[in-house]
């Protein structure tokens, strides 16, 4: 019981603040120690973002001898009023949100389920853990080739062959990536397969730090396995789960490589799978239209910021992050 009391008290104990007079003696210590990190932030985060904002007010073409031309808010008005651009950007945002809405809950729960599964003390569990973790270790460019074969149209596709086998040939061969209705779904499945193990490892670490005494006490109280899971495990790893949901959300909005690798190489209607990230790269580096891409980046950044703030506020309200 002693360890438990310590555990509960530890976060509650207030951090001892040094006396105020001490600070005056080291006026520059704080900024000095923070400067390497601040410099890094300035160079790699603040400067590029400020540049993006500036570029978004210009008409800039990559590899062009023409000087950048100041156009004010033109890139933004185009993004929202030009029927083609607005539709494409809206579709990309919609794809991102659809992806996040499905992937965040599914992947977090799946990670939890897998973590609970591999947390059992069974012989050979290391082998299972290794297998589940493997997709994350393989380069995505490599696994994408395999997935293209899996999703391939016609009876050559592994998925179609499998479905045909189980359905006795009643399921006709489907074009999983080529059909706009299933293209995003196919990418979602591949994406979850590829990255769920990362979240699983984080949850697993949290699971192993839940004190065994709590389970012992719960089983003395005759709590069923399910009751133990709901009342001991989940509260014990609550912060981790919130963290996992947060980073999965961020990953979902950053979605790029899966889409790029799976849909560029096939004969796919790009609009059906385009995410904001792939669209920005396409606009900026395939079409060389840097100004337009910068405007997209700025809008996207604002949207992500709003989502992050809402998510943090929601997590705080539920007493999540302490």
Min CB(300)–another protein separation in Å: 20
Continuous H helices in the chain: 2-12, 20-25, 29-41, 47-55, 74-81, 83-118, 125-137, 140-151, 158-167, 180-208, 212-220, 225-228, 234-236, 238-253, 257-265, 276-281, 290-317
Residue 57 in contact with residue 72, Cβ under 8 Å? yes
The residue from 54, 116, 117, 217 that contacts another protein (CB under 8 A) is: 54
Choice from 7, 42, 44, 321 touching another protein (CB under 8 A): 42
CB 71 within 8 A of CB 291: yes
**Rule CB under 8 A: which of 272-291 touch another protein?**
272, 282, 286-289
Write the DSSP string, 19-33. Answer: PHHHHHHTTTHHHHH
Q: Which of 6, 46, 305, 309 binds another protein (CB under 8 A)?
A: 46
Instruction: State the nearest-atom distance from the C-beta of 33 to another protein, in Å.
Output: 12
By CB under 8 A, residue 34 contacts another protein: yes
For 61, phi and psi rounded to 5 degrees?
-115, 130
Contacts of 184 (CB under 8 A, 6+ apart): 95, 98, 99, 272, 273
The stretch near another protein (CB under 8 A) out of 28-36, 198-206, 207-215, 237-245 is 28-36
How many positions of this chain bind another protein (CB under 8 A)? 54
**Do 264 and 284 contact (CB within 8 A), yes or no?**
no
Q: What is the footprint of another protein within residues 148-187 (CB under 8 A)?
A: 148-149, 152-157, 175, 178-180
269 binds another protein (CB under 8 A): yes
Residues from 199 through 238 that contact another protein (CB under 8 A): none
Footprint of another protein (CB under 8 A):
20, 23-24, 30-31, 34, 38, 42-43, 46-47, 50-51, 54-55, 58-61, 63-68, 82, 84, 148-149, 152-157, 175, 178-180, 263-272, 282, 286-289
């Amino acid at each position: 019981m002693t360890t438990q009391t310590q555990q509960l008290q530890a976060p509650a104990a207030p951090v001892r603040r040094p006396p105020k007079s001490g600070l005056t003696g080291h006026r520059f210590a704080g900024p000095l120690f923070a400067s390497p990190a601040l410099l890094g932030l300035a160079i790699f985060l603040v400067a590029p973002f400020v540049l993006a904002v500036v570029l978004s007010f210009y008409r800039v073409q990559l590899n062009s001898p023409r000087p950048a031309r100041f156009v004010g808010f033109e890139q933004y008005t185009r993004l929202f009023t030009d029927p083609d651009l607005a539709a494409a950007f809206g579709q990309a945002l919609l794809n991102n949100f659809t992806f996040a809405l499905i992937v965040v809950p599914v992947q977090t729960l799946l990670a939890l389920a897998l973590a609970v599964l591999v947390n059992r003390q069974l012989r050979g569990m290391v082998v299972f853990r290794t297998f589940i973790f493997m997709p994350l270790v393989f380069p995505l460019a490599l696994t994408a080739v395999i997935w293209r074969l899996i999703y391939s149209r016609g009876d050559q596709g592994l998925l179609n062959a499998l479905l045909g086998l189980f359905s006795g040939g009643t399921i006709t061969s489907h074009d999983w990536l080529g059909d706009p209705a299933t293209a995003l779904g196919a990418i979602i499945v591949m994406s979850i397969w590829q990255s769920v193990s990362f979240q699983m490892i984080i949850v697993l670490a949290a699971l192993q730090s839940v004190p065994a005494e709590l389970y012992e006490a719960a089983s003395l109280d005759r709590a069923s396995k399910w009751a133990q899971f709901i009342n001991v495990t989940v509260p014990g790893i609550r912060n981790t789960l919130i963290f996992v949901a947060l980073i999965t959300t961020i990953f979902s909005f950053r979605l790029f490589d899966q889409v790029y690798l799976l849909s560029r190489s096939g004969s796919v209607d790009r609009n059906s799978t385009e995410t904001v990230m792939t669209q920005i790269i396409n606009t900026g580096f395939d079409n060389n239209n840097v100004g337009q891409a910068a405007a997209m980046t700025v809008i996207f950044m604002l949207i992500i910021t709003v989502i992050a703030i809402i998510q943090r506020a929601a997590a705080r309200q539920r007493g999540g992050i302490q």
